[in-house]
Structure 1
């Protein structure tokens, strides 16, 4: 059993270089005191406003949508792009909600489907590898899931030490602990001890320790081989988690899905299977997925960039 240990606050975080960050955090804290329907309007407005200024991310998002959904009409992709940026704005608001709202207020605006799958998995006395994709609702989804089933989150260290401290503190509001994404030994140990590991294998983490497998319409997508190592060494149960925002400010629905298919334990087969799980999850709420990052940046040797 891993004891919950909150991150230690360092007085160096009060240095003037972080005052602007503190100001932004204070504004976010005060903002999320507002009623949720109003927050929904503010968040979607912020997203539409950002669409006018985040030109680089707009280009990347448009390219990702074209690569993944070439059969979709240009008009539909543009509408999806606009909805996606509205979700970006809401993602900022939802970070504040996840970090600062009390449990009772979170519960008021959420519903969960599939909790019985976690209960069933617990009876197997195995670790659970929770495939939690990079939806823009990730922060609020992790908070909702942790209220019911506290687990261990995997995170990337933020370049800003204050934001790094805040993200760990915020995510541990309803979870046991956090592990840096490079800490594979820690993940293996936690799974062997029967814990839930919140794991997101859907970004491009570079050529090292990656294999190339299909993802939507892109036949060769760099996909982490870390999932294969976790499955091979700990044989956990695989469950996916989809935090879906309801339309028109109606709150959130957390979908928990179990996956029982047996796959050959080789890196390519595992990565292919995990990408299929991720594709299925994305199609539950495609406008809420994080299309802003360069998912297809890493290419096989000799192949040109897909972002030129």
Structure 2
């Protein structure tokens, strides 16, 4: 059963977590720290084992991934789709262990095996003087990729706080060492302050956030609830929107970070057009390494028709 925690203000003071109730979490954090000290190849191997275990045991998440991949890759036959599901669990298992590297080790140690593509696009956008919204996605290299990005540019980040307050404290403190400012997911005032200072802010739109302030735009050909906030932010701040992504290389350890030209004529004044454009960009990046995306999320949970029973087996109540 998922453990429930009373909603508390963000508190990153470790002295607040001395009570024995936090000891199991501290034990898990210690394990993450220990694994993070291992050679990268060994971590990848352990991550593969963790991913395969999750593929075997996490049946509900595997079902979600199977549905998503069946919807998004109809051109693949059944065996190819099953292989992609399995590989996605492996990639995300490796990504889970890479969180320890992002939180507890110096990402500068990995810059020698990291290649940045298109950095000039980011620099040109920042030269506009009104800030940059880095349009990211939920790839399996989420935390480590973000840490690596900060070795080449200065950036702030928006995060959804962890349900476990102690884990959230560790995550927030780790990110504060990498990023300039760690903003809450709903801290739009903080976001606009960062942009006004001509800062770059990591921002993602590729999850299902419910029915509020969305349009339905195609994502791999499926109408997906897509937030319109990106257009509102760009319109109000005048910032540039720069798509970027980060992937783990196949074979020998290494990483690639991609910056793309800032979106021109954005926002266009048409939320549907803007959302369709953003989804197409994220889809293009996912296709570079389809297994390295978070397919375990119910991306198509919110349907255009409220009476639609949905893709995942139960009637939606949104």
Aligned-residue Cα RMSD (Å) equals 1.6
For normalisation by structure 2, the TM-score amounts to 0.90
- CA change 1:109–1:101 in 2 (3 A) is farther
Deviation at 1:212, TM superposition (A): 1.1
In the alignment, the residues of structure 2 paired with residue 188 and residue 266 of structure 1 have an alpha-carbon distance, to the nearest angstrom, of 22
Which residues in structure 2 correspond to 1:159-174 (within 5 Å)?
159-174=163-178
- The superposition leaves residues 68-94 of structure 1 with CA deviations (integer Å, 9 ceiling, x where unpaired) of 112221111111111101012101111
- Per the alignment, residue 256 of structure 1 pairs with 259
- Per the alignment, residue 249 of structure 2 pairs with 246
User: After TM superposition, where is structure 1 displaced by more than 3 Å over at least 4 residues in a row?
Assistant: none
On the 8 A contact 1:150/1:176 being kept in 2, the answer is: yes
In the alignment, the residues of structure 2 paired with residue 223 and residue 248 of structure 1 have an alpha-carbon distance, to the nearest angstrom, of 34
For normalisation by structure 1, the TM-score amounts to 0.93
Q: What residue ranges of structure 2 are gaps of 5+ in the alignment? A: 1-10, 314-318
In the alignment, the residues of structure 1 paired with residue 297 and residue 252 of structure 2 have an alpha-carbon distance, to the nearest angstrom, of 26
On the 8 A contact 2:191/2:201 being kept in 1, the answer is: yes
Deviation at 1:10, TM superposition (A): 4.2
- Per the alignment, residue 125 of structure 2 pairs with 121
In the alignment, the residues of structure 2 paired with residue 139 and residue 44 of structure 1 have an alpha-carbon distance, to the nearest angstrom, of 17
Deviation at 1:109, TM superposition (A): 3.1
- Per the alignment, residue 225 of structure 1 pairs with 228
- The superposition leaves residues 207-249 of structure 1 with CA deviations (integer Å, 9 ceiling, x where unpaired) of 011111111121x211111112112111221212211101124
Q: What residue ranges of structure 1 are gaps of 5+ in the alignment? A: 1-6
Deviation at 1:189, TM superposition (A): 2.5
Which residues in structure 2 correspond to 1:1-308 (within 5 Å)?
8-218=12-222, 220-263=223-266, 264-300=268-304, 301-308=306-313
How many residue pairs end up in the alignment? 302
On the 8 A contact 2:114/2:257 being kept in 1, the answer is: yes
In the alignment, the residues of structure 2 paired with residue 156 and residue 111 of structure 1 have an alpha-carbon distance, to the nearest angstrom, of 28
The alignment partner of 1:111 has SS state of strand
- CA change 1:54–1:34 in 2 (3 A) is same
Deviation at 1:262, TM superposition (A): 1.9
The alignment partner of 1:204 has SS state of coil
